[in-house]
A and B are shown apart, each in its own frame.
Chain A
């Protein structure tokens, strides 16, 4: 089975850095996705990690430790538009297997 845990809510200040954690327990792990979802909209793909380490994409970075069942999404230079839900999703099985989503972390960025 799978168990994916993320904090429910986080608050941060514009211009700051925030780290959103995700822990998981799953068999047949084959990659982890991070998505951003604004209210009423579809999820937007942010990153994919399958190997241990840090992947950087502009203001967003994602880290994975397979041995610890742990990932985080790091957002730098926060902007008001970063206020959204951030979803961690674990893929298992074959290369294009299904993903199981955590319940998401609602990030509120304040001025």
Chain B
């Protein structure tokens, strides 16, 4: 957890609202990954980004979900029109280019009511 920042830590949204989750990678890391963890389940890969590029979004639902990592600022995971099934912990991780380590942020717990 060395230095990866996520906010907010907890987010409550009503069905149909939008959720925006932010992630700032560890200093010196240029690669960001988003994972989702449902209660009592394992971590599932969603998307992998570098600055201004989506490298792999094979784990991202095709609708309502999008991610970006702009040249300036944090990476954003955006969920439109949230549903109860989106309630989960969303973790961001970052790594250096060689990928030999990957550190996780504290996560955002999303609750959809």
Residues of A whose CB lies within 8 Å of any CB of B are 30-31, 33, 35, 41-45, 48, 50, 87, 89, 91, 94-104
Residues of B whose CB lies within 8 Å of any CB of A are 1, 31, 33, 35, 41-45, 48, 56, 58-59, 91, 95-107
Contact of A42 (CB < 8 Å), options: B59, B99, B104: B104
State A91–B31 Cα separation when bound (angstroms): 14
State A94–B97 Cα separation when bound (angstroms): 9
Is B42 in contact with A103, judged by CB distance below 8 angstroms? yes
Is B42 in contact with A104, judged by CB distance below 8 angstroms? yes
Q: A87-B43, A104-B42 are in contact. Are A45 and B103 (CB under 8 A)?
A: yes
Q: List 10 A-B contacts (CB under 8 A).
A: A33-B102, A48-B100, A48-B101, A94-B99, A96-B98, A98-B58, A101-B42, A101-B43, A101-B44, A104-B42
